[in-house]
Structure 1
Amino acid sequence: MTRSATLYRMVMPGHTCPWGLKARHLLRSRGYRVEDHWLTSREQTETFKREHGVATTPQIFVEGRRIGGHDDLRRFLGLKVGDPKATTYTPVLVVFLTTAVMAAMLSFTVYGTPLTVRGGEWFIALSMMVLGMLKLQNVESFSTMFLNYDLLAQRWVPYGRIYPFAEFGAGALMLAGVLTWVSAPIALLIGGIGAVSVFKAVYIDRRELKCACVGGDSNVPLGFLSLTENLMMIAMAVWMLAMKTRGAALEMPM
């Protein structure tokens, strides 16, 4: 027997409620026959809310029983409802996955194989650029969150606003393989300070903080992945300085 549901959602000129569309799709995907009622004006919407004693739309009714809004429907169907305030490593993992694929594809295009030493260098450089870009979207918000744990920023506040530019710029130079004597020291400096700051905050002081690594609105917990970002910059800086020094030594006349 086909189950029935009634959906009330806003469909107005210039605005269609996205949660109403998601609720309708969810009901239909679960085999419900949906009576789709449109609330086509603000007045009609407010009247509906007063009559049913609810604060928001959409509202879903199943077999005459009011279920509630979109999140309530998900709970009714036994589905997970995300907590927008919950901490998650997903943003950083997505950055690293994306830059790893980008580096592998660049390596494949240039060298015919996705796994090369140069591809590894590109991965770190691209990661620095993308992470820097995310911080640059709102420098003030990033710098405020950064002040919670970075040791240098706590002593010299402008460093929090400089950091995203330094990370992005150093990554760009490393990606191009130019001005190593500029990019590597910058990466070594900001990566070293960052690693010490994160290690102290997380593993010594045992503080539970959010990481500013993907911007000031991040829900990423400060921890191992935050430390990894800084260790990657240190490793890249040391590697490039070593390669530069080796190249200079080979070029010296005997």
Structure 2
Amino acid sequence: MDNQARKPTAELYRMAMDKHVCPYGLKSRYLLQRQGYRVEDHHLTTREQTDAFKQEYGVATTPQTFIDGKRIGGYDALREYFGGKAKDLDATSYKPVIAVFAMAAGLALAISWFAFANPFTIRAAEWFLAFSMAMLAMLKLQDVEQFSTMFLGYDLLARRWVPYASIYPFAEGLAGILMAGHVATWLSAPISLFIGTVGAVSVFYAVYIQKRELKCACVGGSAKVPLGFVSLTENLAMIGMGLWMGGNYLSQLPH
């Protein structure tokens, strides 16, 4: 008896049409195979076939997996069946911020290595903060309207002057780009210092004085990042960057 015949069998019904292949169906098949199952892969190739399947089994969605004649359910149910955790759509997570900072750090170290044959330089630290600001601004600029709506929930200046909520991501992005190239420091340093200070005060007041549980708009309006220590650290870093770059700029002016 070959290895395939010895494997337990699972039946999978998934949409596989000319113009649409269900991604969760592919994920379900991969998960079953990874768990050592031989998959009887049934394709639902038309809308009519899919609707008939749903009606027959009384389900609202596909894919659907059956093991030992028992219906397990869709992809999330299958993950739970194998001991995975159910995905909580409302759960907060620092993953978006970690991803941004990790990529910014990687780029900064790589460029420093290329430019100075040493990844650990002062310029690398500057690039890290500048790239982080630019990347965070990019995420906000994907949907300025949604970002501004969330931002208005806690930023003290935006509450007094609503347009600031829409201006903020442009200002952050401009400051980050200029700082990365040491261009127009007379402009980028004050911007970074100003938005960082207002942001730090706003976050501290909302989280540590009012004790509010809010989601941070730092990576865009659809983010699930909790407002708190990370948000405060981001703003303090912008303050530090503004002071550092501004101080260097002033020290180089002719006396």
Spell out the pairing of 1:106-145 with structure 2 (5 A cutoff).
106-145=111-150
Give the distance between the partners of 1:223 and 1:18, measured in 2 at CA. Answer: 35
Whether 2:180 is the aligned partner of 1:153: answer no
Give the distance between the partners of 1:2 and 1:99, measured in 2 at CA. Answer: 45
Alignment coverage as a number of residue pairs: 250
Whether 2:74 is the aligned partner of 1:63: answer no
Q: Which residue of 1 aligns with 2:57?
A: 52
Give the distance between the partners of 2:137 and 2:248, measured in 1 at CA. Answer: 25
Whether 2:214 is the aligned partner of 1:180: answer no
Give the distance between the partners of 2:28 and 2:83, measured in 1 at CA. Answer: 14
What amino acid is aligned across from residue 202 of structure 1 in structure 2? V
Q: Which residue of 2 aligns with 1:202?
A: 207
Q: How high is the sequence identity, in percent, across the aligned residues?
A: 60
Misfit runs of 4+, over 2 Å: none
Give the distance between the partners of 2:24 and 2:160, measured in 1 at CA. Answer: 46
Whether 2:37 is the aligned partner of 1:32: answer yes
What amino acid is aligned across from residue 197 of structure 1 in structure 2? S
Cα deviations across residues 79-119 of structure 1 (Å, max 9, x unaligned)? 22322221000100110111011111111111110000111
What amino acid is aligned across from residue 88 of structure 1 in structure 2? S
Cα deviations across residues 225-250 of structure 1 (Å, max 9, x unaligned)? 111111111000101111122222xx
Give the distance between the partners of 1:68 and 1:178, measured in 2 at CA. Answer: 56
Q: Which residue of 2 aligns with 1:73?
A: 78
Whether 2:90 is the aligned partner of 1:85: answer yes
Give the distance between the partners of 1:221 and 1:144, measured in 2 at CA. Answer: 16
Q: Structure 2: any 5+ residue segments left out of the alignment?
A: 1-5
Whether 2:241 is the aligned partner of 1:239: answer no
What amino acid is aligned across from residue 62 of structure 1 in structure 2? I
SS for the counterpart of 2:16 is: strand
What amino acid is aligned across from residue 24 of structure 1 in structure 2? R
SS for the counterpart of 1:15 is: coil
Provide TM-score, normalisation by structure 1: 0.96
Q: Which residue of 2 aligns with 1:212?
A: 217
Give the distance between the partners of 2:78 and 2:194, measured in 1 at CA. Answer: 51
Provide TM-score, normalisation by structure 2: 0.96
Cα deviations across residues 138-197 of structure 1 (Å, max 9, x unaligned)? 111000000000000000000000000000001111111021111111111100000000
Q: Which residue of 2 aligns with 1:189?
A: 194
What amino acid is aligned across from residue 24 of structure 2 in structure 1? W
Whether 2:28 is the aligned partner of 1:23: answer yes
What amino acid is aligned across from residue 91 of structure 1 in structure 2? P
Give the distance between the partners of 2:84 and 2:146, measured in 1 at CA. Answer: 33
What amino acid is aligned across from residue 125 of structure 2 in structure 1? G
Give the distance between the partners of 2:209 and 2:25, measured in 1 at CA. Answer: 48
Q: Structure 1: any 5+ residue segments left out of the alignment?
A: none
Give the distance between the partners of 1:77 and 1:152, measured in 2 at CA. Answer: 49
Cα deviations across residues 189-222 of structure 1 (Å, max 9, x unaligned)? 1000000000000000000000000000010000
Give the distance between the partners of 1:244 and 1:55, measured in 2 at CA. Answer: 62
